Amino acid sequence: MTVASNSRAALRCCISLAGRRTVATSSSDPIRPLIASLPTRSRYPPKTPDFSIGHLIIGGGVVGLSIASALSRRWPDRTTYLVERNKSFGEETSSRNSEVIHAGLYYPADSLKTRLCLRGRELMYQYCQENGIPHKQTKKLLVGADFAKEYLEKLQSHCQALGPQAPPTRLITGRQASELEPHLSPDIAWALLSERTGIVSSHDLMANLEKELLEADNAEIVYDTKVVRVDPNEPDVVARDSKRGNDGSQDGWVVQTVTSGAEDADALLAKVLINASGLNAPMVLNSLLKEMGAEQDPIPMWHSKGNYAAYKGPGATNVQHLIYPVPDTRNKGAHGHTSLGTHLTLDLDGNIRFGPDTEWISPPPSSTSSTEALDFWKRNLVVSESRLSSMYNSITEYLPNIEPSHLTPDYAGIRPKLIGPETKGFMDFQFLWHSSSSLSSQKLWQRAPYLPPPSTSCISKARESMDRSDTGGGVMVSLLGIESPGLTSSLAIGELVRDMVANGVYAEDPKRKVSENKGARNEDGAHRVDAWA
């Protein structure tokens, strides 16, 4: 097992140099999604599990770590394992974002993005304070010209109606905004001041979550290990039909993994499988399509690249707030919630960076047969110099005196999207739920139970939930499209998944006092679990 020690900046540099050749998509080419399943599944036939565990989380980003932490703390007498294909935590989406603690301003009131952002914001500040995680409540200015007043007024009204955790906001004039940030353009007529916005060191946050798991008696992280196959485990027919019947001990998902350098796969049985693999999460579900019922289309994966630029120079000195431009609402045909503009963010040392912008990328036409081909996006993690011109034009709408020669490429990240640039509408976070029993009767887009009703604004196909009481079996929860505000929401997502598992797997009250038992129960093949981890 490899424990991460590299800094966030070093991590970005390492990955960027590894994929130095940027793959560009011609502006005239239509943007295509990646439609693929686990590329290794056909190479690994079904296998009897060598051992069993309670909970397995696929994906060591901030969301996967948060879920693993929540499950291990809630059930200290059950084993919780996290498997991550990279050598350390957070090497993909989680280390390549703005590191902003969002207040929860933008999304529909009944959406999971809003609910989880509001709850996650408060959990994040509390967790950072209790654990010494570097963070700062910087506040944010959302700025615009005269046309922006109506938008800002509606946004403020929207925020005020969000209930007890509503983000505090204040509508101010352009002159008042300029008193806070003197470099703002004189064309800025209105601004909304968000009091609860901040920034956090995502690396330190993830390192602390990792530390908690490694110190727990019932949890472990397995790095440099990829999932190559997932199958539902149906209890033996003879045992099921005997007087004893099925006691549920063999319900779950058989997950095959391969550690770097090994040829053979290890197979384990997980009662609860959490698919939090970020950009690759749809592949796990797509690989099960043949086992599901009526013919269904696979889940597409769209990739939205966000470029960031560093800035040190005139026209933006001693900036204290995050500064976001108002979306130009005069463009009524815009893709819903694609981007919040090329905004100004700060790091904890006070350094300025601009971004992200929005650059959609397409996979190569043949990228469905190997892991290397499916990871095409890794070759796009370098900021192209050609992006700086359009970023500069966007920035000077609110900071007119910056100089283009001081704008330098910094880093880029990839947002996992479930809809492409031509689809107009809002896509919420997606939590899908599948049982290992009677998979042939289930739908691919099957919404998890124990969630609030789906947002009326969301265009997802996952409108119906499966009643687990009708099917039994082990459970797989898949998290799809966890883009912004995923970092802010991460601890709340862990809390939500924990409560869903309590309700749907163990039939427990989520608010029940945590068991005082220390150390995981001796599950089947415990010595083989230790060898695998």
> Does residue 300 sit within a domain?
no
For 424-462, what is each residue's pLDDT tens digit? Answer: 999 999 999 999 999 999 999 999 999 999 999 999 998
Q: What is the CA radius of gyration of the chain?
A: 23
Confidence of residue 99 (pLDDT cuts 50, 70, 90): very high
- When pLDDT is averaged across residues 354-382 and rounded to a whole number, the result is 88
Calculated CA dihedral for residues 443, 445, 451, 454, nearest 10 degrees = -120
Cα 97 from chain centroid (whole Å) = 11
pLDDT greater than 50 at residue 13: no
- Where residue 214 sits, what CATH number does that domain have? 3.50.50.60
The arithmetic mean of pLDDT across residues 127-143, rounded, is 99
CA distance 123 to 276: 20
Q: How far apart are CA 220 and CA 122, in angstroms?
A: 27
Pairing of strands 322-325, 140-144: parallel
pLDDT of res. 72: 98
| Residue 55: both structure tokens together | 């909970």
pLDDT at 18: 37
List pLDDT tens digits, range 398-411: 999 999 999 999 99
Residue 470 confidence (pLDDT) above 70? no
| Residue-range definition of the domain harbouring residue 494 | 36-95+203-295+425-532
H-helix or E-strand spanning residue 360: strand 359-361
> Is 196 within 8 Å of 168 (Cβ atoms)?
yes
pLDDT of residue 340: 63
- 85-100 burial code (b ≥16 CB/10 A, e <16): bbbbbbbbbbbbbbbb
Residues 6+ apart with CB under 8 A from 70: 491, 494, 495, 497, 498
Residue 288: per-residue pLDDT: 96
At position 407, the amino acid (one-letter code) is L
Which range has the worst mean pLDDT, 238-247, 320-329, 424-433? 238-247
Three-class secondary structure of residue 259 per DSSP: strand
Among 148, 155, 198, 137, residue whose Cα is nearest residue 177: 148
In this structure, is residue 147 part of a structural domain?
no
pLDDT: which is higher, 455 or 468: 455
Is 108 a domain residue? no
Under 8 Å CB-to-CB from 477, ≥6 apart: which residues? 272, 273, 274, 275, 431, 432, 433, 448, 497, 500, 501
Asked, for residue 275, whether it belongs to a domain, the answer is yes
- The pLDDT of 331-353, averaged and rounded, is 75
Q: What is the pLDDT of residue 5?
A: 39
Letter string b/e over residues 310-333, b meaning 16 or more CB atoms within 10 A of that residue's CB? bbeeeebeebebbbbbbbeeeeee
Given this model, what pLDDT does residue 370 score?
A: 76
250: Cβ–Cβ under 8 A, 6 or more apart, which residues?
233, 235, 236, 239, 269
- Residue 394: pLDDT over 90: yes
Q: Is the pLDDT of residue 238 over 80?
A: no
Read off the pLDDT band of 220 (50, 70, 90).
very high
Question: Over the chain, what is the mean pLDDT?
Answer: 89
Structure tokens at 20: 């130095």
Amino acid letter, 349: D
> Other CB atoms closer than 10 Å to residue 238's CB: what's the count?
7
**How many domains does the chain contain in total?**
1
pLDDT for res 468: 55
pLDDT range class, residue 245, cuts 50, 70, 90 = very low
The angle that helices 8-18 and 202-215 make with each other, rounded to 10 degrees, is: 100
How much is the pLDDT for 407?
Answer: 98
State the pLDDT at residue 3: 39
Q: Is residue 84 part of a domain?
A: yes
Measured CA to CA, the distance from residue 260 to residue 225 in angstroms comes to: 6
What single DSSP character describes residue 301? Answer: B
Who's near 252: CB < 8 A, 6+ residues apart?
Answer: 52, 233, 269, 270, 271, 272, 273, 436, 473, 474
Q: Which of 37-41, 143-147, 276-280 has the lowest mean pLDDT?
A: 37-41
Query: How far apart, in Å, are the Cα atoms of 386 and each of 22, 24, 183, 400, 410?
Result: 12, 11, 26, 20, 13
d(CA 193, CA 110): 23
Q: State the pLDDT at residue 405.
A: 97
Mean pLDDT calculated for residue range 116-130: 99
pLDDT at 516 over 80: no
Residue 111 forms part of a structural domain: no
Residue 2 has pLDDT above 60, yes or no: no
Percent helix / strand / coil, the chain, rounded to 5: 30, 20, 50
Residue 322 belongs to a domain: no
Instruction: Encode pLDDT of 275-316 as tens digits.
Output: 999 999 999 999 999 999 777 899 999 999 999 999 999 999
Handedness of CA 386, 391, 397, 400 (dihedral sign): negative
Pairing of strands 100-101, 198-200: antiparallel
Percentage of the chain beyond pLDDT 90 is 77
CB 498 within 8 A of CB 504: no
What pLDDT is recorded for position 40? 85
* pLDDT score recorded for residue 203: 98
CB 201 within 8 Å of CB 348: yes
Let me know if residue 50 belongs to a domain: yes
Tokens of 257: 């993994």
- Model pLDDT, residue 341: 72
